[in-house]
Amino acid sequence: MREKVSYWLIWVFVLSGFLLGIGLFSLWVGPKRIPFSTLISLIFERRISTESSILFDIRLPRIILGFAIGGSLSLAGVILQGMFRNPLVEPYTLGISGGAGLGVSLNIVLRVHQRVGVLSLPLSGFLGALSVVFFLYFLSARRGVLKIHNLLLYGVMISFISSSLIMLIMAVSRVEDLHGIIFWMMGSLEEPNGFLIRLTFILSIVGLVLSYLFSISLNALSVGEEEAFHLGVDVEKTKRFLFLVATLLTGISVSVAGMIGFVGLVVPHFVRIFIGRDHRILLLGSFLCGSSFLILCDTLARTVIAPSELPVGVITGILGGSLFIYALGKRNMVL
Amino acid sequence: MLLEVRNLTCGYGAKVILREIDFQLPKGELLGIIGPNGSGKTTLLRAITKVIKPMGGVILFEGRDIKEISYKELARKISIVSQNHETGWMGVEEFVLLGRIPYYRKLQFLERRNDLEIARRWMRLTGTIGLKDRLLGELSGGERQLVHLARALTQEPELLLLDEPTAHLDITHQVAILDLVRKLNKEFGLTVVMVLHDLNLASEYCQRLILINDGRIYREGSPEEVLSYKIVEEVYKTVVVVEKNPITGRPYVFLVPEDKQKRTKRRWEKYMV
């Protein structure tokens, strides 16, 4: 018992160390070179200068957003994979990102954001995601029972339908709108609105805390729904709650940062392979691992071909995918 | 009465599987449930563990309607070793410790020292302590069944349900498991209900049998009362001969292949009661 806890604690320290290191690295690198000593001194005594404004107004918000979104997506991935007991499920499988994409595309094509303001973009994305969540929920909940397999199938279908609708919108939209839609879909952590960043950050932490209320139930669910019933878990309540937590986390992430793929699929697998399958460590481990991973990818995305930027989704896909293949071959483990 | 099933009708969706099931289970009994495939034996266990809700009738545990008992509390009173083993890649000890989940308090995330001791104790008793660091997927069928039994016992139930505990096992493991179950029943006073397909094992190990056919209780009583050749032939639509086990005196059901039926039937008729 004690060994298990200390093993978990060591991992939490290691991952937090990683996160801190990557965060500092991300703060340090960029087109404007800031010596490391200046960086450290600026962290401890906040002077008003060009450098501190670059660090704390431009780079830091991005890091915080990367932390929140990387963490949320990985957390949603762990929850959904645990709930569905299917290693291929990821936050975008259920069509939530499709709904958000549809909301944003409609907003861009109808030029709502030009009239109402830029904040209407994430808002319409979130409304799109939310409507998919409720639609899915009412489709698959019958007589108080949430049918997990139906949920998955409906989700995949909604995903297809919404991506087709997005393509339809793209086909009939003007060139400048088209550019906006594509740019949004590729995903980016560049978000000028400080309030949105704070909100995403707070909600990701809230999601993490809430998911822990059901960590034991998730462990029980990993041996099957019926077995979980026999272990005294209120399976229906657990499924409903976790579904809402995971989909809302996904919806918020997608509406703020667009579709950053792969984080929610690969990070949970990594953590499962290297740390373990117990959800009591898997949830926090994936959150920390996912946030470090996304911050790292974003740092690469904005530095590799500076001063222009690569879409962060490209980096997460290439880096995550190849690391994962490497790890699978090395560990030779069954998922 | 530990368990009382009153006029239970249940099924899945609109399909009725069990009709008007009525029986009582006193504390300390070892009850066997037998019946052909699809007669509703597993459904009965599912109703008792509240996985499916009754369409009619009630199930009382210690006089309380199980509808009123939360899943968590019920899991401290009734535990089950079910048939479909979802194995996964979980460590054996970790799996057995899942049996302590019903005892977790709100906002408790770690098992206490006591929980581990209880899990270890039942692993020792089921002889699975040596497997504790193995993965569930690596075990043989017999070992896995014992590990599942250890998990169910770790729930420290008052009523243990077993759904075909001997399916797919060789005779060594069949006897090992059922001897263990009897020991739990005799020495620890644990009340046990087990669904068995093997009529002879049911006859050897159970004090009382309930024969379910087509969703109804067809016969209920001691193995001698239930396992007469007439009843077995009627329910299973198979020609059998029932004799006594020379050591234990319990009824033993012999199967008769079709091509041997005419000859043997005549020869055995005079012995059959």
Searching chain A, which residue's CA lies closest to the CA of residue B154?
A231
CA distances from B27 to A197, B5, B163, B196 (A): 61, 14, 19, 20
Q: For chain A, say whether B76 makes contact (Cβ under 8 Å).
A: yes
Structure-model confidence comparison of residues A38 and A257, the more confident one: A257
Return the residue in A142, A231, A234 with the most chain B beta carbons within 10 A, the one to mutate for interface testing.
A231
A227 contacts in chain B (CB < 8 Å): 82, 86
Contact A233 B71 (CB under 8 A): yes
Buried/exposed B65-80: b ≥16 CB within 10 Å, e otherwise: ebeebebeebbbbbbb
Q: For chain A, say whether B82 makes contact (Cβ under 8 Å).
A: yes
Q: For chain A, say whether B98 makes contact (Cβ under 8 Å).
A: yes
pLDDT value at A50 more than 90: no
HSE on the CB side for B34, CA within 13 Å?
A: 26
Mean pLDDT, chain A, as a whole number?
88
Q: For chain A, say whether B14 makes contact (Cβ under 8 Å).
A: no
Class of domain A2-331: mainly alpha
Q: Of A1, A212, A234, which is closest to B116 when you measure between CB atoms?
A: A1
What does the alpha-carbon distance between residue A181 and residue A113 come to, in Å, rounded to a whole number?
12
Q: Of B71, B86, B137, which is closest to A234 when you measure between CB atoms?
A: B71
B94 contacts in chain A (CB < 8 Å): 278
Q: Which residues of A touch B (CB under 8 A)?
A: 1, 5, 212-213, 215-216, 219-220, 222-224, 226-227, 229-234, 277-278, 280, 334
Mean pLDDT of A326-331: 75
Name, in order, each residue with C-beta under 8 angstroms of B174's C-beta and a sequence gap of 6 or more: B166, B198, B201
Q: B3-227 architecture in CATH?
A: 3-Layer(aba) Sandwich (3.40)
Pairing of strands B208-213, B64-65: unpaired
Domain ranges of chain B: 3-227, 228-273
Searching chain A, which residue's CA lies closest to the CA of residue B116?
A1
What does the alpha-carbon distance between residue B189 and residue B183 come to, in Å, rounded to a whole number?
9
Question: Do B153 and B79 touch, CB atoms closer than 8 A?
Answer: yes
- DSSP string for B194-256: EE-S-HHHHHHH-SEEEEEETTEEEEEE-HHHH--HHHHHHHH-S-EEEEE-TTT--EEEEE-
DSSP type of residue A143: T
pLDDT level of residue A1 (50, 70, 90 thresholds)? low
A229 contacts in chain B (CB < 8 Å): 49-51, 71
Contact A220 B101 (CB under 8 A): yes
In the prediction, which pLDDT does A70 show? 96
Q: For chain A, say whether B102 makes contact (Cβ under 8 Å).
A: yes
pLDDT tens figures, A216-246: 999 999 888 889 999 999 999 999 999 999 9
Searching chain A, which residue's CA lies closest to the CA of residue B94?
A278
Contact A1 B86 (CB under 8 A): no
Mean pLDDT of A178-186: 86
Complete edge-to-edge strand list for the sheet that includes strand B208-213: B78-81, B159-163, B191-195, B30-34, B208-213, B216-221
What percentage of residues in chain A have a pLDDT greater than 70? 97
What are the counts of helices (DSSP H) followed by strands (DSSP E) for chain B?
10, 12
Q: For chain A, say whether B51 makes contact (Cβ under 8 Å).
A: yes
Question: Do A207 and A67 touch, CB atoms closer than 8 A?
Answer: no
Q: Distance, in angstroms, between A278 CA and closest chain B CA?
A: 9
Longest dimension (CA), chain A: 63
Q: Distance, in angstroms, between B98 CA and closest chain A CA?
A: 7
B53 contacts in chain A (CB < 8 Å): none
Contact B101 A227 (CB under 8 A): no
Q: Of B90, B94, B101, which is closest to A231 when you measure between CB atoms?
A: B101
Contact A227 B102 (CB under 8 A): no
Searching chain B, which residue's CA lies closest to the CA of residue A215?
B109
User: Cis ω on the peptide bond leading into residue A307 (within 30° of 0)?
Assistant: yes
- Measured at the alpha carbon of residue B192, what is the angle toward residues B92 and B171, in degrees to the nearest 5? 65
The alpha carbon torsion through A228, B92, B108, B47 (nearest 10 deg) reads 20
Question: Does residue A32 sit in helix, strand or coil?
Answer: coil
pLDDT tens figures, A192-220: 788 999 999 999 999 999 999 999 999 99
Question: Do B130 and B165 touch, CB atoms closer than 8 A?
Answer: no
In the prediction, which pLDDT does A335 show? 47
Return the residue in A5, A210, A230 with the most chain B beta carbons within 10 A, the one to mutate for interface testing.
A230
Q: How far apart are the first and last CA of chain B?
A: 34
B50 contacts in chain A (CB < 8 Å): 229
Question: Do B12 and B187 touch, CB atoms closer than 8 A?
Answer: no
Which of the listed ranges A27-36, A194-203, A318-327 does the model predict with the highest average pLDDT?
A194-203
Question: Do B69 and B58 touch, CB atoms closer than 8 A?
Answer: no
In the prediction, which pLDDT does A332 show? 54
| Phi, psi of B30, deg, nearest 5 | -115, 100
pLDDT value at A151 more than 60: yes
Closest CA to A151 of A218, A230, A208, A236: A236
Q: For chain A, say whether B55 makes contact (Cβ under 8 Å).
A: no
Q: Which two tokens stand for residue A315?
A: 């980096």
Contact A222 B116 (CB under 8 A): no
Q: For chain A, say whether B113 makes contact (Cβ under 8 Å).
A: yes
Q: Which two tokens stand for residue A213?
A: 């209320």
In the prediction, which pLDDT does A238 show? 93
Which residues of chain B carry a pLDDT beneath 70? 84-88, 262-273
Searching chain B, which residue's CA lies closest to the CA of residue A226?
B51
